[in-house]
Amino acid sequence: MDLLKYFGLSNPRLFVICLLLALAQGIVFVGAQIAITGAHSFPLDDSYIHLQYARQIACGDYLQYQDDAPVTGGATSFLYIHLLALGYLVGFRGALFPFWVVLITWGCVTLIFYQLVRLGERLGVAWAGRAAVVLTFCSGLMAWGLWSGMEIALFSAILLLTLNQFFQSKFQNYSFYILLALLALSRPEGVIVSVVLMSCLIIQKTTRKDFRSLLGSWSEVLSLFLYTFAIVGPPLFYRMTIGRWGGNGLLAKSLLNHPAMTSTEIVESIISNIVSISFFLLGGMQSSYGEYVIPGFLIFTIIGLISFSVFQGVEGRWRALALVLSLAAVFAAMTTVEVWPMHNYRYITPFFPLMLLISMAGIELIVSRINHKDRTLQYALALMAVLICVVHLPTWASRFADNSTTIFEKQRRAAKWMVDRLPDNEQIAINDAGALVYFGRKQIDQYSPEGKVIKVEKKFHNTDLVGLVTNGSTVPYRLGEGGLYEWMERIPFNKRPQYAAVFPSWFMEMSQIYDIFHQPLVTFPDPFDPGFSKTVYHVNWSYAGMEDQPRKQTMRDEWEIRDSIDIGDLTSENQHNYVLRNRNNRFPDIYAPFRRNFGYHEEIDERWPGIEKEQEYLIPVMRQQGILNQYDIVDGGRRINLDESFTLGNLEPGRDAFLIMRSCECSGLHPLFNYGMDLHVNGFFVASFEMQGTPWNWYEKVITIPGDMINQTDISIRIVNKGSLNFSYYDSFYYWICQGKSKLEL
């Protein structure tokens, strides 16, 4: 690859101009933020996830988010974290480490500006390339993302480098393959673009029977091997280390992996995203002031793409088609992202410089068709777009400073408090795992037996409840707090988090409705949004495991539990082949109920008759006697409006079995409830039964399964919702299956 040609030194004057423009944009955002807060901080917590991974890589803990932790897949860019780790290795440590990120961003933004000019010249729309530079420079929306500390600038720069190479009339295959490899390693969207470009190139060569030109030398063979490794290497690594083909990011954000959406609901959400993204790209205002791109952006971009496809030669048309397919594939994939507008549209921001160039080419085409000589309208439209961006530039610079201040004042202070006040190496449940962990360590002095001072590092360990940097919690978190609590219960007791540092608004049931996160120790308010304060709690594990047994009055002395399934516990459900079907292929409004109920009222009334005000009189007595947890049960479940099926095992064929179901009515819309259900075993109807009572109380039902229906150790159970007056559903929490004890046991 001709480095002078592609990295700017073949045109040093243009490169210096781009360098200064990038510096000026960085001063407006990073410099203003430092001037306002007195210190440098990034506006996104996710930026610190990259910094933490990079530091761990440089220290020899490869993709382990913390010491002695397993490999996790929370970084969105394989390439970026290694580039950051390189800076740490060469000496950018401590306060200098974020400065290394700024230097990388400066270089990447410079390359973006430079490549926009070169790509415009290569496509025959030089004016559009220069106009795109001005718009990218003036756009606060883009500048926020480029300087956010994420891989946005890196990915956008590599994308433009790759397309510059791709649109040459003749290019060296090996340099193109290397750029495709870097593109694939920089973001998941890069994999999509690189595969489309490579596929189009292969199709073009094979249709011309010119396939050998793809591998004409050893350098091309080696670079193609590098590209292949970039495509399959990370998925294989994740498969071997965490058991999945991808990192945690896609699992946490993709609609296709949503545990509480049916296929119909997923399709509807994708259609909604298509409408929302299109509206945004057309220039529609989003949730906050300044959150829109130039009016008609999408229309001008489409016209520009058409102009590249129509008004170039055969060679150019092939490549223009590849560009069209690449962008179409990327935005199709983006419609499956549940949170596509999150963090000021950082998922689509990397494509904006390229799309600005294409849209300016579209404007140039329209004007040239109206009046070939007079370009007044062309410049007027471009100037209008620039003015729209400039007007909102101060707003975005202020937002950048505000977001950075939030990280500095809230997350960094919380991390310092926890590492100072909580026990060393304590396991802490957290959300927003970037800045808390990155700043959650400090050097302290200890003394050796000889009396010498030894510098050691004090830190805490995290359990990421959202699941970006902790394996296993991603899907339970998306299911709801009940599913998350059930997942946390499965953590061995000596590794369970004893503290939680969370946004209470994200965990209302655990922190406000029930006392799982209890006894708040300290709160760090958000400087700009009271709903996002960070509070440190104790975690109350006194309820853990109490839900695993049916109540004593349900069981008989001669019974023993042979198997059970904890509904809402994804591990238990998976072990028992649990399948849930929904009426009209939709989940009910409350798809995963989570309840903490005080006991079974029949038992309580029998043991403590005449006590009506339980909260005032009975509960304090039970707490004093140390028996409250025997009656206070926390459990997560499912709301069923069609049917559920699962398998239960460890049975003795030919003997009667007794299926116990725990339920609760969680809406409280009616003073009494009545659930009607049918039981099917191994495909045969067994019985109809009802569950009835008052809302918010636990109830259990026993249904007998005749022994002649049990012809092997495992049976399949299907519970069908029959519906009843006022209730089109039932709430399912736990199932146990019992059989009589053997004669030897008796």
Residues 13-41: tens digit of each pLDDT = 999 999 999 999 999 999 888 887 777 88
Does residue 95 carry a pLDDT above 50?
A: yes
Q: CA separation (Å) from 591 to 84, 447, 615, 732?
A: 42, 55, 29, 11
Contact predicate 536/500, CB 8 Å: yes
Average pLDDT of span 573-577: 97
Amino acid at position 506, single letter: W
Q: Which two tokens stand for residue 54?
A: 């990079």
pTM, rounded to two decimals: 0.91
Q: Mean pLDDT over residues 613-619, rounded?
A: 69
Supply the pLDDT for residue 746: 45
Tracing tokens 């290569």 back to the chain, one arrives at 122
Residue 531: predicted pLDDT: 82
Determine which of 368-377, 561-570, 712-721 has the lowest per-residue pLDDT on average: 368-377
Q: Which residues pair with 610 in a beta bridge?
A: none
CA 626, chain centre distance (Å): 41
Looking at the chain, how many residues does it have? 746
With the CA atoms of 626, 628, 634 and 640 taken in that order, what torsion angle do they form, in degrees rounded to the nearest 10?
150
CB-based burial label for 632 (10 Å; 0-12, 13-18, 19+): buried
Is the predicted pLDDT of residue 271 greater than 90, yes or no?
yes
Q: How would residue 368 be classed by pLDDT, with cut points 50, 70 and 90? A: confident
Q: How much of the chain exceeds pLDDT 70, in percent?
A: 91
Judged against a pLDDT cut of 50, whether residue 411 lies above it is answered with yes
The span from the CA of 348 to the CA of 428, in Å, is 33
Closest by alpha carbon to 553, among 600, 511, 618? 600
Residue 188's φ and ψ, nearest 5 degrees, are -60, -35
Whether residue 370 is predicted with pLDDT greater than 90 in this model: the reply is no
Asked whether 437 and 65 are in contact (CB, 8 A), the reply is: yes
Q: Which is it for the CA torsion 151, 157, 161, 163, positive or negative?
A: positive
Contacts of 156 (CB under 8 A, 6+ apart): 108, 112, 146, 349, 350, 351, 352, 353, 354
Q: What angle do CA 159, 163, 164 make, to 5 degrees?
A: 115
Rounded Cα distance between 729 and 724, Å, is: 8
SS3 169: coil
pLDDT of 1 higher than 50: no
Q: Which two tokens stand for residue 640?
A: 């069923």
Predicted pLDDT at 97: 95
The token pair at 637 is 């479940």
Q: By 3-state DSSP, what share of the chain in percent is helix, strand and coil, each rounded to 5?
A: 50, 15, 30
Average pLDDT over residues 320-330: 93
Are 529 and 457 within 8 A, CB to CB?
Answer: no
What are the angstrom distances between the C-alpha of 210 and each of 170, 216, 230, 316?
14, 11, 25, 17
Per-residue model confidence (pLDDT) at position 33: 84
Q: CA–CA separation, 74 vs 250, rounded Å?
A: 9
Decide if pLDDT at 686 tops 80. Answer: yes
Find out whether 661 and 567 touch, Cβ atoms under 8 Å.
Answer: no
Identify the three-state secondary structure at position 632.
Answer: strand
Range name among 198-207, 345-354, 521-530 with the lowest pLDDT average:
198-207
Most confident of 80-89, 204-213, 357-366: 80-89
Distance in angstroms (rounded) separating the CA atoms of residues 67 and 69: 5
User: Tell me: the pLDDT tens digits for 159-195?
Assistant: 999 999 998 877 677 888 999 999 999 999 999 999 9
Statement: residue 450 has pLDDT above 70? no
CA 254, 255, 258 angle in degrees (round to 5)? 95
pLDDT at 648: 97
Backbone angles phi, psi at 727, to 5 degrees: -135, 120
- Cα-to-chain-centroid distance, residue 666: 29
Weakest-pLDDT range from 307-321, 413-427, 453-467, 633-647: 307-321
Tell me the two tokens of residue 690.
Answer: 């009802």
Residues contacting 108, CB < 8 A, separation 6+: 146, 153, 154, 156, 157
What's the CA gap between 389 and 139, in Å, rounded? 5
Dihedral angle over CA of 332, 355, 229, 48, nearest 10: -90
The percentage of residues in the chain with a pLDDT greater than 90, rounded to a whole number, is: 58
Characterise 425 by phi-psi region: left (phi > 0), alpha (psi -120 to 50), beta (else): left
Long-range pairs for 620-623: beta carbons < 8 A, 24 or more residues apart: none
Contact 378, 371 (CB under 8 A): no
